[in-house]
Amino acid sequence: MVGLPARGKSLIATKVVRYLHWLSITAKTFNVGQYRRTATPTPSADFFDTTNPEGERLRRAAAEAAVNDMCKWFRDGKGLVAILDATNSSKTRRKWIQERCQAENIETLFVESKCDDEDIIMQNILDVKTTSPDYAGQDPELAAADFRNRIRNYEKVYETIDETNERNLTYVKLIDVGKQVIINQIKDYLQSRVVYYLMNLHIKPRSIWLSRHGESQYNLTGQIGGDASLSDRGELYARKLPELVQQSVGDGRKLTVWTSTLKRTIQTARFLEFEKLEWKALDELDSGVCDGLTYGQIEEKYPDDFAQRDEDKYNYRYLGGESYRDVVIRLEPIIMELERSENILIVTHQAILRCIYAYFMNVPQERSPWMEVPLHTLIKLTPKAYATMEERLKADIPAVSTFREKGSRAKHQEAQEAAQEAHDKQKA
Amino acid sequence: MVGLPARGKSLIATKVVRYLHWLSITAKTFNVGQYRRTATPTPSADFFDTTNPEGERLRRAAAEAAVNDMCKWFRDGKGLVAILDATNSSKTRRKWIQERCQAENIETLFVESKCDDEDIIMQNILDVKTTSPDYAGQDPELAAADFRNRIRNYEKVYETIDETNERNLTYVKLIDVGKQVIINQIKDYLQSRVVYYLMNLHIKPRSIWLSRHGESQYNLTGQIGGDASLSDRGELYARKLPELVQQSVGDGRKLTVWTSTLKRTIQTARFLEFEKLEWKALDELDSGVCDGLTYGQIEEKYPDDFAQRDEDKYNYRYLGGESYRDVVIRLEPIIMELERSENILIVTHQAILRCIYAYFMNVPQERSPWMEVPLHTLIKLTPKAYATMEERLKADIPAVSTFREKGSRAKHQEAQEAAQEAHDKQKA
């Protein structure tokens, strides 16, 4: 990373790490500030004055320690992408990093966040004064004032990446959070993916709403996959959804509704008076030969597969179908589009919702396929600087549970007879 | 487009139009040079001297005619993306275009190609002198000299997009064919897709080889889909492929082999001594409920669907499966990666190969699903400035034809019994 303090460097680093983890690429941030804090826990702005030789020496030592650990991390084969989170604000410092990496055969991509928008900087300063460990326990006003002085000290020596003298570096310069982007000497696929991701980020406040389709006929019979219509209770949820959304979204806020191409999501969204978009990429995980079967039938017909799936549900690919890993790959354009967009409501399926949720909430792979996402519930996610806030709104409409715990054929199956009875009664 | 002559503007325009068409987005190039040529078919360099008022007037008239037609094209709802292919090399001209478009509610994206690499420019000049209608029938040496003078006249007034004064424009500046890319004020999804595509283009000479998997057990029985192994003849093709590739690629050239995740492509590629990559996105078109059936059985079980598919094969989606349109969407990352890459050999399936081929050869949607791509044949595609060259190399190994003509259940089925016999003999 390159840039003055309060330019969102750590935020960008956090998002990139989360995105890479979601794509199964091991990534880790090395934050030079944390190294510096072990020697100097709560420095004042003077510490960052370049004419202060002791401060200069300690800050240099922190950078060296971070880079050493980072190189070791690569050497030990611990991961694929490391982010060196620091200001790295002089040409000399960048040259040093570039040479250290080159010696270790590590490709570099310098990501500079350059921002002169005072509103954004002030917002970042306000975040920092309340969250940075550098100011733990201090008066927020004094902290903000000190932090502004620290920035001024950095400004004295700050050199933006030079488009002429540093033209041999691979870099991306993000100016005013994506208003302008300069991309230089991108060399490989991973760099191009990260750059495309960075291009699409914005920081306008917004929320994302997630809902599964209403209970379907297949949910009642305990079958997976297929393209069934809603059950009567699912239909009730569809009719209730506009009210639920209104309650969560508030008045006058515009949003766009995304559904899959399957009947149950389109039916669920059909009473919402917003623009709608159908995405094939939002279709349920393809269960291949098991499509249309119940978990009980799968266990009977494909006992080995059933057990295998429990062992590593993330990687298990249904015969002729998909794994969670496959789903993540096809969801990537959706995530990219979500990053670009503002308020979006997604009506989709259990496995798909788990994957999208895992991206925003940073859920590890081994856990995400086992998350319980109940039917007839609206989830609201609001991305904040370092985490995503979550609210859940339940519609008071009963539904079968389609959640199956590891090693069981569980609720889904047990509820089946009861549900079938209820269904038969409704029909009668 | 923005840029001096011989900077690859028309080449970029051609590629973007081809890419958009492939994605079912109607796009059209309005080439100002063509408008100018109706008044002045073979102008000399003097015509482009800015101190020549008559030349200036005629060139201005050509630009106006092109912009008028472009606006009319939009107004008539003829398409989504128009490319105004001209030098548009002054701020005044760009401001005029911007205002004209704004008045018509047309979003603008200025794409500047800036190139100071003499080798690239000379190559472009050589291309132009042999292909431009401006120099039809003229001595190539004189044409090149005149064209260099024309460029000099443009250079006098050329203003690159100004990062300060023109910062309100949405633009992308491609410097030395992708070495550096500057992106400004990108506003919507389509712009972001086009910019990402432009970022990935390169002009290093290379080829792409395409092959279907060797004949499979399912090909013999006439079944579609599935995950069958190679037949004995398919196995022969796999063993022959390295020789075929060597013959086409030549000595010492490195390439990377991409296969799908299905057995028949992996088996086909397994004797090739190159780096290999498996892509789920290269798996065969998912035929849903028809997976494992023969065309005869499909016709019997789903007669309406069978007829529907013939009527609009590109858009027909198998029940629980995919359409060609769906395949194109999932192939987009493959195309992007192909644009970034150099020499690639893809071993994949009939429908997938048709879609990739259609991209490079600009085959219209309604025709691409009906193209015949025989088994046991290596196709070599070499992208050139305005077209892609094709060579086909047949391995002398017989195989069933899996090609089905519109309205028939054809060769595939008819050959079935004969093939089955042959197969049984081999096994015996």
Look at residue A419 and tell me whether its pLDDT is greater than 70: no
Nearest to A340 among B182, B192, B286 (CB): B192
- Show residues of chain B in contact with A329, CB under 8 Å: 280-281
CA A177/CA A191 separation, integer angstroms: 19
Q: Is B163 on the interface with A (CB under 8 A)?
A: yes
pLDDT given at position A260: 96
Q: Distance (Å, rounded) from C-alpha A305 to C-alpha A272? A: 40
- When pLDDT is cut at 50, 70 and 90, the band that residue A335 belongs to is very high
Query: pLDDT tier at A363 (50, 70, 90 boundaries)?
Result: very high
CA distance B19 to B209: 19
Answer whether B189 touches A (CB < 8 Å).
yes
Cross-chain residue pair B182–A182, CB shorter than 8 Å = yes
Instruction: Of A91-105, B142-156, B286-300, give the range with the top mean pLDDT.
Output: A91-105
Binding residues of A: 212-219, 264
B291 and A320 within 8 Å at the Cβ level: the answer is yes
pTM above 0.95, yes or no: no
Under DSSP, is residue A259 helix (H, G, I), strand (E, B) or coil?
Answer: strand
Q: Which chain B residue's Cα is nearest to A332?
A: B333
Residues in chain A with CB shorter than 8 Å from the CB of B181 are 182-184, 186
pLDDT of residue A176: 87
pLDDT in tens, B237-290: 999 999 999 999 988 788 999 999 999 999 999 999 999 999 989 999 999 889
Residues A106 and A71: beta-carbon distance below 8 Å: yes
- pLDDT for A183 equals 93
Q: What's the mean pLDDT in B178-205?
A: 88
- Any idea what DSSP says for residue B256? E
Q: Which amino acid is at A158?
A: Y
A contacts of B199 (beta carbons < 8 Å): 183, 186, 192, 195-196
pLDDT of residue A424: 59
pLDDT at B411: 52
pLDDT of A426 reads: 57
Instruction: Say yes or no to pLDDT of B87 above 90.
Output: yes
Residue A244 Cα, gap to closest chain B Cα (Å):
29
Indicate the pLDDT class of residue A425, thresholds 50, 70 and 90.
low
Mean confidence (pLDDT) of chain B = 89
Residue pair A353/A375 in contact (Cβ under 8 Å)? The answer is no
| pLDDT tier for residue A423 given thresholds of 50, 70 and 90 | low
- Are A183 and B186 in contact (CB < 8 Å)? no
Distance (Å, whole) CA A293 – CA A2: 53
Task: Categorize the per-residue pLDDT at A202 as very low, low, confident or very high, splitting at 50, 70 and 90.
Answer: confident
Cβ(A279)–Cβ(A346) below 8 Å: no
Query: What pLDDT does residue A168 have?
Result: 92
pLDDT band at A141 (very low <50, low <70, confident <90, very high): confident
Pairwise pLDDT comparison (B418 vs A305), residue with the higher score = A305
Domains of chain B: 9-200 (3.40.50.300), 208-427 (3.40.50.1240)
Per-residue pLDDT band at A378 (split at 50, 70, 90): very high
pLDDT (tens digit per residue) in B208-233: 999 999 999 999 999 999 999 999 99
- Chain A CB contacts of B186 under 8 Å are 178, 181, 199
Is residue A203 very low, low, confident or very high in pLDDT (cuts 50, 70, 90)? confident
Q: Does A61 touch chain B (CB under 8 A)?
A: no
The sign of the dihedral angle between the CA atoms of A71, A72, A75, A81 is negative
Q: What percent of chain B has pLDDT over 70?
A: 94
Determine the length of chain B.
428
Phi-psi region of A362 (alpha: psi -120 to 50; beta: other; left: phi over 0): left
The pLDDT value given to residue A392? 94
* Range A71-78 average pLDDT: 96
Alpha-carbon distance of B350 to B223, in angstroms, equals 13
